[in-house]
């Protein structure tokens, strides 16, 4: 499930291999996106809300134009896919054994860059609000900050004692939050790579993080 950036539509992926877009105010199905051959694993909108990507269980990603419902591109990558804010690039990552993050250009449907550095599976990837940086978190207990244009690793954030399950940028892009199997959430300064704050509130590993859309400074953990 994914809400559009302004919250007027919500997209659901179903076991019947279809993606349905629903109007939040009326509850009506706005369109049905058909093309996948297996169940839908994940969905994401671009920052502008005009592009939607859906990934199925065969690791096939379809890029849809929201207004028309047309499938513009088809990509084949690893089992995790993240759409860039501008909707022009997809980052693929492998939660099981993949040590690289692959950046694919949507228009050419080709891999343009590989980000290598993690020493185990990559659990989470997120673009910065401007789309010029990527953060990745892996089972090697590290979070890494990458330059999208050059593929250079700008920062390696070390401090967790368990695998990093989730990473994301703050709404302003000045901090990175990371959630780990060590039961903590850390906030990292993007410029220095230093850990600013450590929160240990859970009896088990922290699996997910979200910033509140109405209170950008509020970080939700689960």
Q: What is the pLDDT of residues 101-128, one digit of tens each?
A: 999 999 999 999 999 999 988 999 999 9
pLDDT in tens, 36-95: 999 999 999 998 999 999 999 998 999 999 999 999 999 987 778 999 999 999 999 987
Give the homologous superfamily in CATH for domain 77-215: YVTN repeat-like/Quinoprotein amine dehydrogenase (2.130.10.10)
pLDDT in tens, 121-139: 899 999 999 999 999 999 9
Three-state secondary-structure class, residue 61: strand
> Positive or negative CA dihedral for 104, 108, 113, 114?
positive
Residue 120 to residues 30, 62, 93, 101, 131: CA-CA distances in angstroms?
41, 27, 11, 12, 25
Q: Is the pLDDT of residue 217 over 60?
A: no
pLDDT in tens, 134-163: 999 999 999 999 999 999 999 999 999 999
Domain boundaries, the chain: 1-61, 77-215
Q: How much is the pLDDT for 19?
A: 97
Separate counts of helices (H) and strands (E) for the chain: 0, 22
Q: How much is the pLDDT for 219?
A: 58
């Amino acid at each position: 499930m994914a809400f559009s950036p302004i919250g007027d539509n919500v997209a659901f992926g179903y076991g019947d291999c279809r993606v349905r877009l629903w109007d939040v105010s009326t509850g009506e199905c706005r369109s049905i996106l058909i093309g996948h051959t297996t169940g839908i694993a994940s969905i994401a909108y671009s920052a502008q809300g005009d592009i939607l990507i859906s990934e199925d269980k065969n690791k096939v990603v379809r890029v849809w134009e929201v207004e028309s419902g047309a499938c513009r591109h088809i990509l084949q990558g690893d089992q995790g896919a993240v759409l860039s804010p501008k909707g022009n690039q997809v980052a693929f990552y492998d939660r099981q054994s993949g040590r690289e993050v692959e950046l694919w250009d949507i228009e050419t449907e080709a891999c343009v860059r590989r980000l290598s550095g993690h020493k185990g599976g990559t659990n989470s990837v997120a673009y910065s609000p401007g789309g010029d940086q990527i953060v990745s978190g892996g089972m090697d207990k590290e979070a890494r900050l990458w330059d999208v244009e050059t593929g250079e690793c700008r920062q390696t954030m070390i401090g967790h004692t368990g695998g990093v399950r989730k990473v994301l940028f703050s709404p302003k892009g000045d901090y990175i939050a990371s959630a780990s199997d060590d039961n903590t959430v850390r906030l990292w300064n993007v410029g220095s790579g230093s850990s600013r704050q450590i929160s240990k509130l859970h009896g088990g590993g922290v699996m997910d993080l979200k910033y509140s859309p109405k209170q950008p400074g509020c970080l939700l953990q689960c």
